[in-house]
A and B are shown apart, each in its own frame.
Chain A
Amino acid sequence: MTTAIKVENVSKTYTRDKMSVPVLNNVSIEIPEGEFVALMGPSGSGKTTLLNLIAGIDRPTGGRVSVQGEDIGTMNESSLAKWRSRNIGFIFQFYNLIPVLTAYENVELPLMLTPLSKAQRKQQVETSLAIVGLADRMKHTPNQLSGGQQQRVAIARAIATDPNIIVADEPTGDLDKKSALEIMTLLERLNKEFGKTIIMVTHDPSAAEHAHIVRHLDKGDLLPEGA
């Protein structure tokens, strides 16, 4: 199996009110292609920071993050934005759908950054919404959908550009048990059926059970596998 993500000696320090706050200390991890990894740990352990660094929406203070062989730390702001639009699908705890847009338009949003024609975009959107089981809710705006449905639209948005990697930050954190299970089943399917590499941050042990690998962080340190 080839390596999808390679994190080498990465550290991250934030400056808050002139105080340096270390969030990650020399973290290294390799994630093979097609894996489903759960990152767990208490609040402030650095799991979301690690996810953000892998997704290219934050930059490490030290160390190197390579995704599919590319060192994303060397990219400038603009190239990194383009890289994200092609390689990463995002799923957030509170779905982060654009409230004024319909489900269809929300899913189409990342496709606006591709050279696809309107007809090709339509096909992609419809396929993505069909995968998440919301083909009949295309014209609904987020406030007309339940939490579980909104998260499914967010997943459709994450897969619309067919990225290899999906990062999910507490995807079930705002959902009831039933909806949470539906979402996790969907993520599992994306991993198994479509070969997506998934890195998921979660507090929820039952969500983590769906992942193949579970890694724990504590106070900025990545604990050894199995810990």
Chain B
Amino acid sequence: MKIPFYYILRNFFARKLTASITIVGVALVVFVFAAVLMMAYGVEKALISTGSDENAIITRKGSNNEISSIIDLQTANELSTLKGIAKDAQGKVVVSYEVATVINLDKKSGGMSNVSVRGVSPQVFVLRPGVKLAQGTWFRSGSREIVVGKQTNARFQGAALGDKVKFGGDFWTIVGIMDANGSAFDSEMWVDVEQLRGAYKRDAYSSMTFKFTSKDDLETMKSKISGDPRLNQMEVEIERSFFEKQSEALAMFLRVLGLVVTIIFSVGAMIGAMITMYTSVANRTVEIGTLRALGFRRGAVLFAFLFESLMLSLVGGVSGLILASGLTFFSISTMNFSSFSELAFSFAMSPSIIITSLLFAILMGFVGGVLPSWRASRMKIVDSLRGA
């Protein structure tokens, strides 16, 4: 014994102004909610896409990032002889010995920020085929040349082709701009690892990234490393999961901060929905009494009003999502606590963000609508008919 759907629908459209205000309120909250989730997902996507499932990275145990990791040259040599590292056609192991450091540059938008400088070996291009040269040339081995990521190029002063950057006691010339397809490498500068090591007088690398032959070999390598007293201070991890962990802290921070803000906003939207629905009930008291007198049950009245509230919030939710999807055209940057450097990323939408945002909208509609709907369904018929 349901109240016809068109009755609910027409009442929804009959109150254009109050319905629109409620929809706008819900839409704004959902917009902020979705934007925060998109931001966190954007960070994850940028960092996760940085790592590959086919590569593994060796760092010192306990170091959560490459900057705080040290692998001395002798250990690096030992590690490169282990079984499980793939070889290229010439029989050379596919390993990039890397040094990670940060330097300070002026941002175009004002202020200074850290930029990651990564020293890489020539094999890096085999390991990371997704990183392409967009302009200029790659740096030459043995020279103090830099290739900058496209985000670094876009966001920092003095990061253009031909500019010179001073660090490690020398000037380095930017000879190329690389496109790393939205990954964190876009926010870095790459140089020859041996030049970087020399400039900072370091007898160690930060990390070693290599292509592994098979997962089984990788497991054997892991147990070999942990059983060897010369190597057991090192740990091996699949590159993608290494960078995934790097994204956790920042993504979590963004989510928690964003959710706290949206929850506060949502209280306002829920009160808005509640006022709209209470007004709707008050304006239709006689109507409710008539429906009940005709034989419609309390449950049918409750459902009709609740459904109306859910529809309001769902329309608001969809509108908020449409607005938020416009953010995918924007990229922003923030400090990544894991690498102590600036990370640029784009807002990214995902099916789970769409579903979560819509569920959040529906929840707001439910919380806002349940009390007024309950009141509508509990009114005495004779009181309703009198318009009390």
Are B6's CB and A105's CB within 8 A? yes
Please tell me if B14 contacts chain A, counting CB pairs below 8 Å: yes
- Complex interface: stretch among B174-182, B289-297, B330-338: B289-297
A57-B382, A96-B290 known; A110 and B297 CB under 8 Å?
no
Q: 1/0 per position for A84-100, CB-CB distance to B under 8 A?
A: 11100010101010111
Q: B287 is contacted by which of A81, A86, A98 (Cβ under 8 Å)?
A: A98
- For A99, list chain B residues within 8 Å (CB): 14, 287
Are A113's CB and B294's CB within 8 A? yes
Q: A101 is contacted by which of B7, B289, B293, B296 (Cβ under 8 Å)?
A: B7
Are B381's CB and A82's CB within 8 A? no
- For B3, list chain A residues within 8 Å (CB): 112
Docked complex: A45-90 residues within 8 A CB-CB of B: 52, 55, 57-58, 77-78, 81-82, 84-86, 90
Docked complex: B1-31 residues within 8 A CB-CB of A: 1-4, 6-7, 10-11, 14
Q: 1/0 per position for B246-290, CB-CB distance to A under 8 A?
A: 000000000000000000000000000000000000000011011
Please tell me if B204 contacts chain A, counting CB pairs below 8 Å: no
A100-B7, A105-B6, A113-B1 known; A57 and B293 CB under 8 Å?
yes
- For A94, list chain B residues within 8 Å (CB): 286
Q: How far is the CA of A96 from the CA of B289 in the complex (A)?
A: 9
Min C-beta distance of A139 to chain B, whole Å: 13
- For B381, list chain A residues within 8 Å (CB): 52, 57-58
A52-B382, A57-B382, A112-B4 known; A90 and B293 CB under 8 Å?
yes
Q: How far is the CA of A85 from the CA of B381 in the complex (A)?
A: 14
Please tell me if A109 contacts chain B, counting CB pairs below 8 Å: yes
Please tell me if B385 contacts chain A, counting CB pairs below 8 Å: yes
Min C-beta distance of B32 to chain A, whole Å: 33
Q: Which residue of A lies closest to B3 (CB)?
A: A112
**Could you tell me how many residues of chain A have their Cβ less than 8 Å away from some Cβ of chain B?**
25
A96-B385, A98-B7, A112-B4 known; A82 and B295 CB under 8 Å?
yes
- For A90, list chain B residues within 8 Å (CB): 290, 293-294
Q: Which residue of B lies closest to A109 (CB)?
A: B294
Are B10's CB and A100's CB within 8 A? yes
Q: 1/0 per position for A125-139, CB-CB distance to B under 8 A?
A: 000000000000000
Please tell me if B245 contacts chain A, counting CB pairs below 8 Å: no
- For A81, list chain B residues within 8 Å (CB): 292, 295-297
Q: How far is the CA of A77 from the CA of B289 in the complex (A)?
A: 14
Most buried by A among B2, B291, B293, B297: B293
- For A78, list chain B residues within 8 Å (CB): 297
- For B1, list chain A residues within 8 Å (CB): 112-113
- For A105, list chain B residues within 8 Å (CB): 4, 6-7
Min C-beta distance of B299 to chain A, whole Å: 9
Q: How far is the CA of A195 from the CA of B385 in the complex (A)?
A: 27
Q: How far is the CA of A101 from the CA of B294 in the complex (A)?
A: 15
B interface residues with partner A (beta carbon < 8 Å): 1-4, 6-7, 10-11, 14, 286-287, 289-298, 380-382, 385
List 27 A-B residue pairs with CB atoms under 8 Å apart, sorted by A's residue number. A52-B381, A57-B381, A57-B382, A57-B385, A77-B298, A82-B295, A84-B295, A85-B294, A85-B295, A90-B294, A92-B290, A96-B385, A98-B290, A98-B291, A99-B287, A100-B7, A100-B14, A101-B6, A101-B10, A105-B6, A105-B7, A109-B4, A109-B291, A112-B1, A112-B2, A113-B1, A157-B294
**Apart from A90-B294, A110-B294, what are 10 other A-B pairs with CB-CB below 8 Å?**
A52-B381, A57-B385, A58-B381, A77-B298, A81-B295, A84-B295, A98-B287, A101-B6, A112-B1, A112-B3
